[in-house]
């Protein structure tokens, strides 16, 4: 079997791997196929040829896996938001736990048995507290439309999510099951309002139009509900008309904001904003702490599961009343505040200026006085000068971005004589890479996977490290 690009092949999927793709073997090579489940027998086409592996796409499912189920959403096979709706949630978390075990064994070269049983979500649908929809002038065609012989027009107003890997194509959604059902109803209403009132979508290429994004946020512990309309132009009479229509249809909306992004960048963050209704923010809790969440502020996307993640970090930190805690990559300070009740002092470090401002604001709102927040890039800030001006830490928590920690930060952590290190990760593969370096001076006691994003391949993990005595 040549396994050349474009060739067709029959495969049996054996397991799952990176980005949730199924893995089959052919000619001694791994073949990665998205949208498959272990046990599927398929006919596939090779789409990418690499030296040590191949990538393929399904042409036909010859015999479905015994675990394969019908996705709840009609967009599941096209949308990039969910990759595993065809797999039962109980199986999803088994695969995620195994992925973490594989990373710990293969990348970190550690005993995989230090990985604990995964903590799953109580709700595997409607768990997100934030969705960011986009508007566009070109919609993503379905597989059925693409296969038609006659021409199918892809132009016209569309509202939904970006097609996987495409900045210029929008999957025109008919449903979505990731956030409160009211979220999709609002998207559908805004789409209809725009069509009825001849309001154009923003054209990515021509740099013209009006509607860019619709961001919806809802609170887990309160009834607060935010609608954030992101537009290319500033037209307050039109936005007030839309806001009035939204409130009439959805009286439960507590605040409506219009972010105006009149720049060419594709973000949903406006250069400035108008509050059309309500206070301009929503309020939610993590544990006993209250947070005012503004339209562009970061907040954990799965509130209920964030509390479970933080409880694991709190347990691993094993803080004592006199302890000093450093929280690296602290963001808006949610974890710093969560830890502050058990520590003498907490110092948070974060690169993003607006995040530090939010962190300080959150500390003030919660009357937390034993937390300081420092602005700076970790690889530059976390140095001898910084450490000499701070109390010596007893515990360090690090919660880096998906890329993991900068090598200079890893090196500095290895040099410090800190008794306990807690690593919170949204990407266990980069965490495992960092643990491989740190294990020379720290014992990796255990790793706890926590699922924050059902129906996707993403998985969080928390590792506990203790300093090895010389």
Tokens of 328: 């690296």
Catalytic residue among 79, 82, 176, 426: 426
Q: Is position 165 within any domain? A: yes
Do 351 and 370 lie in one domain? The reply is yes
Tell me if 76 is assigned to some domain: no
pLDDT for 143 equals 55
Q: How far apart are CA 100 and CA 118, in angstroms?
A: 10
- Check whether residue 253 and residue 177 sit in a common domain: yes
The answer to whether residue 426 is catalytic is: yes
- Whole-number pLDDT of residue 384: 80
82 in a structural domain:
no
Of 271, 293, 315, which marks where a domain is finished? 293
- E-strand ranges in 64-208 read 130-138, 155-162, 170-172
380 and 363 belong to one structural domain: yes
User: For residue 139, what is the domain's CATH number?
Assistant: 2.40.50.1070
Q: Are residues 272 and 141 in the same domain?
A: yes
Beta-strand relationship, 155-162 and 53-63: unpaired
Assign 3-class secondary structure to the chain: CCCCCCCEEEEECCEECHHHCEEEEECCEEEEECCCCCCCEEEEEEEEECCCEEEEEEEEEEECCCCCCCCCCCCCCCCCCCCCCCCCHHHHHHHHHHHHHHHHHHCCCCCHHHECCCECCCCCCCCECEEEEEEEEEECCCHHHHHCCCCCCCEEEEEEEECCCCCCCEEECCCCCCECHHHHHHHHHHHHHHHHCCCCECECCCCECCEEEEEEEECCCCCCEEEEEEECCCCHHHHHHHHHHHHHHCCCCCEEEEEECCCCCCCCCCCEEEEEECCCCEEEEECCEEEEECCCCCCCCCHHHHHHHHHHHHHHHCCCCCCEEEEECCCCCHHHHHHHCCCCEEEEEECCHHHHHHHHHHHHHCCCCCEEEEECCHHHHCCHHHHHCCCCCCEEEECCCCCCCCHHHHHHHHHCCCCEEEEEECCHHHHHHHHHHHCCCEEEEEEEEECCCCCCCCCEEEEEEEECCC
Specify the pLDDT at position 162.
Answer: 78
| Boundary residue ending a domain (293, 309, 332) | 293
Digit-by-digit pLDDT tens for the chain (470 residues) are 568 888 999 999 999 987 889 999 998 899 999 999 999 999 999 999 888 899 999 999 999 999 999 999 999 888 878 999 999 999 999 999 999 999 999 999 999 999 999 999 999 999 999 999 999 887 655 555 545 555 444 556 889 887 776 666 788 899 999 999 999 999 999 999 999 999 999 988 889 999 999 999 999 999 999 999 999 999 999 999 999 999 999 999 999 999 999 998 888 899 999 999 999 999 999 999 999 999 988 899 999 999 999 999 999 999 999 999 999 999 999 999 999 999 999 999 998 888 899 899 999 999 999 999 999 888 888 778 888 888 899 999 999 999 999 999 999 999 888 999 999 999 999 999 999 999 999 999 999 999 999 999 999 999 999 999 86
Provide the terminal-to-terminal Cα distance of the chain, rounded to the nearest Å: 55
Return the closest-CA partner of residue 305 out of 107, 135, 456: 456
**Two tokens at 127?**
């768990």
| CATH label of the domain that carries residue 316 | 3.40.50.150
Q: Does 266 share its domain with 395?
A: no
Q: CA 371 to CA 295: how far, in whole Å?
A: 25
pLDDT of residue 153: 47
| Whether 254 and 310 share a structural domain | no
Indicate if 224 and 346 belong to the same structural domain: no
Tell me whether residue 81 is in a domain.
Answer: no
Instruction: Note whether 113 and 143 are same-domain residues.
Output: no
Rounded to an integer, what distance in angstroms lies between the CA atom of residue 393 and that of residue 410?
16
Within 10 Å of residue 318's Cβ, how many Cβ atoms? Answer: 15
Q: Answer yes or no: is 325 within a domain.
A: yes
Instruction: Identify whether residues 310 and 288 lie together within a single domain.
Output: no
Is there a domain that residue 345 lies in?
Answer: yes
| 189 and 275 share one domain | yes
Q: Is the same domain home to 244 and 227?
A: yes
- Overall number of domains in the chain: 3
Task: Tell me whether residue 357 is in a domain.
Answer: yes
Q: How far apart are CA 54 and CA 218, in angstroms?
A: 42
Minimal CA–CA distance to 124: which of 160, 85, 98, 156? 85
CA distance 255 to 252: 9
Instruction: Report the CATH number that the domain containing residue 47 is assigned in CATH.
Output: 2.40.50.140
Range of the domain at 183: 130-293
266 and 149 within one domain: yes
Whether residue 77 is contained in a domain is answered as no
Residue at which a domain ends, from 22, 52, 68: 68
């Amino acid at each position: 079997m040549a396994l050349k690009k474009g060739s067709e092949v029959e495969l049996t999927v054996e397991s799952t791997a990176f980005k949730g793709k199924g893995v089959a073997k052919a000619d001694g090579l791994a073949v990665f196929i998205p949208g498959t489940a272990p046990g599927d027998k398929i006919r596939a086409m090779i789409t990418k040829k690499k030296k040590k592996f191949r990538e393929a796409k399904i042409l036909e499912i010859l015999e479905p896996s015994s675990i394969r189920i019908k996705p709840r959403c009609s967009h599941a096979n096209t949308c990039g938001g969910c990759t595993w709706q065809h797999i039962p949630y109980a199986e999803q978390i088994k695969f995620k736990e195994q992925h973490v075990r594989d990373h710990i064994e293969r990348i970190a070269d550690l005993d995989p048995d230090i990985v604990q049983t995964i903590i799953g979500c109580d709700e595997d649908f409607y768990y997100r507290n934030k969705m960011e929809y986009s508007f566009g002038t070109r919609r993503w065609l379905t597989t059925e439309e693409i296969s038609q012989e006659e021409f199918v027009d892809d132009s016209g107003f569309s509202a939904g999510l970006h097609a996987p890997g495409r900045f210029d194509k929008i999957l025109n959604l008919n449903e979505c099951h990731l956030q409160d059902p009211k979220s999709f109803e609002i998207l559908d209403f805004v789409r209809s309002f725009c069509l009825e009132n001849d309001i154009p979508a923003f054209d990515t290429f021509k740099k013209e139009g009006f509607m860019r994004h619709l961001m919806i946020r809802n609170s887990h512990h309160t009834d607060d509900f935010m609608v954030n309309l992101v537009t290319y132009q500033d037209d307050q009479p039109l936005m007030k008309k839309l806001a009035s229509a939204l409130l009439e249809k959805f009286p439960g909306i507590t605040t409506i904001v219009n972010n105006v992004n009149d720049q060419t960048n594709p973000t949903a963050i406006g250069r400035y904003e108008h509050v059309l209704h309500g206070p301009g923010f929503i309020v939610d809790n993590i544990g006993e702490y209250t947070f005012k969440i503004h339209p562009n502020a970061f907040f954990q996307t799965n509130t209920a599961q964030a509390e479970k993640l933080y409880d694991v970090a709190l347990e691993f930190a094993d803080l004592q009343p006199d302890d000093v805690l450093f929280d690296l990559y602290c963001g808006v300070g949610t974890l710093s505040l969560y830890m502050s009740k058990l520590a003498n002092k907490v110092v948070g470090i974060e690169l993003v200026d607006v995040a530090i401002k939010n962190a300080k604001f959150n500390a003030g709102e919660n009357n937390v006085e034993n937390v300081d927040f420092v602005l700076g890039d970790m690889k530059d800030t976390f140095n001898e000068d910084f450490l000499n001006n701070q109390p010596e830490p007893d515990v360090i928590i690090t919660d880096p971005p998906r890329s993991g920690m900068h090598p200079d930060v890893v090196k500095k952590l290895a040099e410090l004589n800190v008794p306990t290190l807690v690593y919170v990760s949204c990407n266990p593969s980069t965490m495992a890479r960092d643990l491989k370096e740190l294990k020379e001076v720290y014992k990796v006691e255990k790793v706890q996977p926590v699922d924050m994003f059902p129906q996707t391949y993403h998985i969080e993990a928390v590792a506990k490290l203790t300093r090895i005595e010389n």
